[in-house]
Amino acid sequence: MDNVIRLINDKKQMSNKGALLFLDMSSAYDNVIREKVYKIIENKKMLNENEMKLFKFIHSNIEIKVGGKSCKTSRGAPQGLGTSPLFWNIYLNSLLEELGIKNFKVFAYADDLVIFIQNTCEIDEAIRTCFTWAENHNMKFNEKKSGLIILNNKKFKNLSNIKNIPLVNDYRYLGYEINRKCNLVTFMK
């Protein structure tokens, strides 16, 4: 969250030029395709052979129980498993790299993304990049939990919801409410 606060403070000094795109992934940890993560780890040589065997063993022996019956799964990074955050970060990294190559400022916390948008063309590009990645990685964005805030910028006039992402005046993110004037208000539920 500190990075988002720094970005917002920087934008205040730059006359609030831009927009913030908040994207929330639906059931992200549940939909990770483990084989894709294994291939990434192997291609980038992140683990040696024995470490990789152990990593696969841990994740291949995960059972879920539904209605008293158990079955093994080939996808998902179960919450509570010590390696799940690492598993998710490896999976998400290709999206973050792609957005970085396109010069977007991006902040990710678990399955929540914040992307700083500088002009209207970038809105479509950021959304298209994220939705294409999601489609190729068995993910979906929860449009009802996502939002686009225009930061007091006339360049962004006459916009409506884009790709079902609602145009909002404020957004709650990691314990803060962020509004169009880049004000942060802490909130508690």
pLDDT of amino acid 132:
95
> Which residue ranges in the chain fall short of pLDDT 50?
13-15
pLDDT of amino acid 13:
46
Phi, psi at residue 69, to the nearest 5°?
-100, 145
pLDDT in tens, 119-162: 878 888 999 999 999 999 989 999 889 999 887 666 666 565 57
Q: Is the pTM of this model over 0.85?
A: no
pLDDT of amino acid 14:
46
Single-letter code of the amino acid located at 121 = C
Phi, psi at residue 92, to the nearest 5°?
-75, -25
pLDDT of amino acid 83:
80
Distance CA 66, CA 63 (A): 10
pLDDT of amino acid 122:
87
Distance CA 158, CA 137 (A): 33
